[in-house]
Amino acid sequence: MDTDNNKNIFDQLNKECNEYSKAIFLESCVEVAKNGEQFGLTTEDCFPEVHCALGLPYYSIAVFGGVMSQMPQAFDLIDKSKEMGVGSMTCSGPKLAMYMVESGMIPKPNMIITGNQPCDAISALGDLVNSYKPWADVPKFYMSAPHDKSEESYVFYGKQMRAAAAFLEDILGRKLDMNKLKQISEEANKQCQLMLELQVLKSAVPTPIDWTWGRSATRIARWGSRVGSPVVTEWLERLVAATEQRVKEKKGIDGITEKIRFMWYDMVPTSSEKLFSRLANELGAVELMDYYNWGGPWTPIDTSSEEAMFTSFAKRYLKDTPMVKHAMGTVQSFTDDITRLYKELKCDAVVLGLNIGHKEQNAMYRVIEDICRERGIPIQMIGCDLWDERYMTGDQIFDKIQMFFEVSGLIK
C-alpha cells in the first residue's frame, strides 16, 4: 500500500465516520421526532445493543450537552445554564444539558431511562428530566448502578437492564428479538475486539495514528444506532488494516516527530483538537488514550442465554466503559487502570484533566498522585473545566503540560 493510498483510506474512513456519527446528535433526534417516529432519551446509554436490537432511536442527553459545548453558542448557553439556579459547582457539561431540556431544545421523547452513572451531576440531570413538566406523561424508568466491582453487582445491574428492556418493549408494543440481540451482541464483540487491536497497534513506537481515531471508533462502535452493525465492523477492519500497514512501515503520525507519549486520563476538553495538535506539532507530544479514545478491553457478551447476555451488558457498562468504570470501586482500581495503560501504551507521562465537575477524581487526587509517583509514573493534575474554555483556555493547558514535561525531564 503506497502512502497516497493509505492517506486516501483514512480520508474515506473519516468521511464515513462523520456520516455514521450523526445518529448520536441532537439534529438526528429532532429529525426523528419531526417524522413522528418513536424514540427514547437517556441520561447515559448503558445498553446500546438492546436499543439497536429493538430498532429504537435512542439518544443520550449527556452527549447532547457535550456536543453543544463545542458549538459557537456554547458560552452563551453555559451562562444561561448557570443562571438557572442549579448547583453552582456542578459540571458544566450536564448543566448545559439541563438547560437544553428546560429551554425546550430537545423534543419530547416517548420513553425516558435515567441512571446515576457516571457521576452525581448526571443523577441531578436525571432528576431534572424526570420532573420536567412538559414530559410529565412520558413513561420513565430509573436505574441504579452500584459502585462496587463484584459479581453480585453485575448480576444486580444486569437484572435492572432486563427490566429496562422490558419497559422499552411495553412502550414500543414489540418484543425484543433475542436472536437479533444475540446477533448484534456477537457482532459488537467483534467490534470490541477490533477496538482492542487498534489500541495494541497504537502502542507501537512511533504511534501510527493520532488520538482522534480512537474517538471515532468509540463513537460509532459503542454509541448510537449502529452498534453491532456489520457496516461498523467492516469500517473497523479497514481502520485496523490501514493502521497495521503504518506500523509495518514504522510510520508515525503524519508530520509529527514523536518525542513524548502521554495519556490524558479523562474526557478531553473542548479545546482538545487545537491543544493536542499544538502539543504534537510543537513538542512532539502525542496523546495516546483518553475516555473517548478507549480501546478496552471490553468484556465479551456471553450469548449463551438471555440472563448471561444481560449480565455481560452490565459488565461491559460498569467494568469497561470509561468514566463509568472509573466511578466504580476504589482509588486502587482507578490507579491500577492508569498503570496498566501507562505500561501497555509505553507512555512517558499521564495527565489528569481533573475537571472541576468530576467530584470523583477530585475526591482522591492526592492518593492517585501518591500511588502513581510510587510506581514511577509522572503524573500531572490540570484542574480545568472540560466544557468551558473560559475557565482555562487550551493555551493555558498547553503551558501547564509543557512545564510539566520540562520538570519531568521529558523535554531536553
Partner 1 sequence: MDLIKNSEVFRKLSGIAGTINNSGIENLKKEGGKVAGYTCSFVPEELLIAAGFMPFRIRGTGSKSADLANDYFQAANICSMVRHCFNHILTGEYDFLDAAIIGGGCDANRHILDNWEKSDAKIPFLHRIFFPHATGDLMVEYFRNQLADMKAGIEKHFGIEVTDEKIWNAIKLCNEARDLQKELYSLRKADNPPITGAETVDVIVAGNSMPKEEYIADLKTLLNELKNTKVEDKNYKARLMIIGPCHDDTSMCDIIEGLGGITVTDLTCFGAKIIYGRVKDSGADPLQAIAEYQVQDRPFCPKNLGAHPIISKTVFENIKDYKVDGIIGQNMLCCDTWGGELYILNKELKEAGIPMLRIEREYIPDSLGQIQTRVQAFLETITGGTQ
Write out the residues near partner 1 by the rule CB under 8 A. Answer: 84-91, 98, 114-116, 119-121, 123-128, 130-131, 140, 142-148, 152, 156, 159-160, 163, 327, 330-332, 354, 356-357, 359-360, 362-367, 370, 383
Q: Which CB, 160 or 270, lies closer to partner 1?
A: 160
The answer to whether 215 touches 308, Cβ cutoff 8 Å, is: no
The whole-angstrom separation of Cα 120 and Cα 352 is 19
Q: Which CB, 25 or 142, lies closer to partner 1?
A: 142
The answer to whether 168 touches 55, Cβ cutoff 8 Å, is: no
What H or E segment, with its residue span, contains residue 41?
strand 40-42
Q: Which CB, 20 or 154, lies closer to partner 1?
A: 154
The whole-angstrom separation of Cα 253 and Cα 46 is 33
**How close are the terminal C-alpha atoms of the chain, in Å?**
36
Q: Which CB, 127 or 344, lies closer to partner 1?
A: 127
Q: Which CB, 236 or 384, lies closer to partner 1?
A: 384
Q: Which CB, 348 or 360, lies closer to partner 1?
A: 360
The answer to whether 121 touches 51, Cβ cutoff 8 Å, is: no
Taking every pair of Cα atoms in the chain, the longest distance, rounded to a whole number of angstroms, is 65
Q: Which CB, 316 or 326, lies closer to partner 1?
A: 326
Q: How many CB atoms lie within 10 A of CB 155?
A: 15
Least CB distance from residue 85 to partner 1, whole Å? 5
Residue 132: which of 112, 161, 154 has the closest Cα?
112
Least CB distance from residue 64 to partner 1, whole Å? 17
The whole-angstrom separation of Cα 338 and Cα 98 is 31
> What 3-state class would DSSP assign to 352?
strand
Q: Which CB, 163 or 205, lies closer to partner 1?
A: 163
Least CB distance from residue 124 to partner 1, whole Å? 3
Least CB distance from residue 131 to partner 1, whole Å? 5
Signed CA dihedral, 335, 336, 337, 340: sign only = positive
Least CB distance from residue 39 to partner 1, whole Å? 20
Least CB distance from residue 325 to partner 1, whole Å? 15
> What 3-state class would DSSP assign to 300?
coil
Least CB distance from residue 393 to partner 1, whole Å? 18
What H or E segment, with its residue span, contains residue 4?
helix 3-21
Q: Which CB, 140 or 226, lies closer to partner 1?
A: 140
Which residue pairs, CB below 8 angstroms and at least 24 apart, start in 10-19?
10/209, 10/242, 13/216, 13/235, 13/238, 13/239, 13/242, 14/216, 16/235, 17/216, 17/219, 17/220, 17/235
Least CB distance from residue 95 to partner 1, whole Å? 9
The answer to whether 308 touches 135, Cβ cutoff 8 Å, is: no
Q: Which CB, 32 or 384, lies closer to partner 1?
A: 384
Q: Which CB, 195 or 327, lies closer to partner 1?
A: 327
Least CB distance from residue 61 to partner 1, whole Å? 13
DSSP classification of residue 253: S
**Residue type at 173 in one-letter notation:** G
Least CB distance from residue 398 to partner 1, whole Å? 21
Q: Which residues pair with 59 in a beta bridge?
A: 41
Least CB distance from residue 378 to partner 1, whole Å? 20
The answer to whether 29 touches 107, Cβ cutoff 8 Å, is: yes
Do the bridges between strand 40-42 and strand 58-60 make them parallel or antiparallel, or are there none, so unpaired?
A: parallel
